[in-house]
Structure 1
Amino acid sequence: MTDYACAKCGETEYLRREIRTEGGFLSAAFDVSNNRFTAVSCKRCGYTELYRTDVAGGAQLFDFLAG
């Protein structure tokens, strides 16, 4: 992100992390994360926005094999 500005305080520095969630019994049973989000947090006030990230089939397979 090149033009980030916090919606709450206007700060331009941020942290970016990936969040994975599980959805349903099979995902939990096989430790596969099929929902991913990018979290962008303001360094000054901590305000965080989540952006949905598409998960390709190969990434889901890798998660299954790595789990």
Structure 2
Amino acid sequence: MKQKGCIKCGSRDADKKEVAMTGTGLSKMLDVQNNQFLVVYCKNCGYSEFYNKRSSKGSNILDLFLG
């Protein structure tokens, strides 16, 4: 049977947060943060996965991360 949890340490203690980042070129020069991501991270070891916020749902991503 496959174990569920963090792929690095096996912990099931995870959380999520939203982050915004600049792109390249003009948006970087003007500091326009037009790229939005959902970060799911392990509270035990810090392993993180980034998901494009436009194409994902937060709770579904957390379920995917934990298995």
Query: What TM-score do the two structures reach when normalised by structure 1?
Result: 0.58
Distance 2:8 2:29 in 1: 39
Distance 1:29 1:9 in 2: 38
Q: How many residues align?
A: 52
Q: Which structure has more RCO (C-alpha within 8 Å, separation ≥ 6)?
A: 2
Q: What residue in structure 1 maps to residue 6 of structure 2?
A: 6
Distance 1:28 1:45 in 2: 31
* Counterpart AA for 1:34: N
Give % identity: 40
* DSSP 3-state at the match of 2:44: coil
Query: What TM-score do the two structures reach when normalised by structure 2?
Result: 0.58
* Counterpart AA for 1:47: Y
Gaps of 5+ in 2: 56-67
CA drift of 1:48 comes to: 0.7
CA drift of 1:34 comes to: 1.5
With 6-15 and 18-27 compared, the bigger mean Cα shift is at 18-27
* Counterpart AA for 1:13: D
CA drift of 1:49 comes to: 0.8
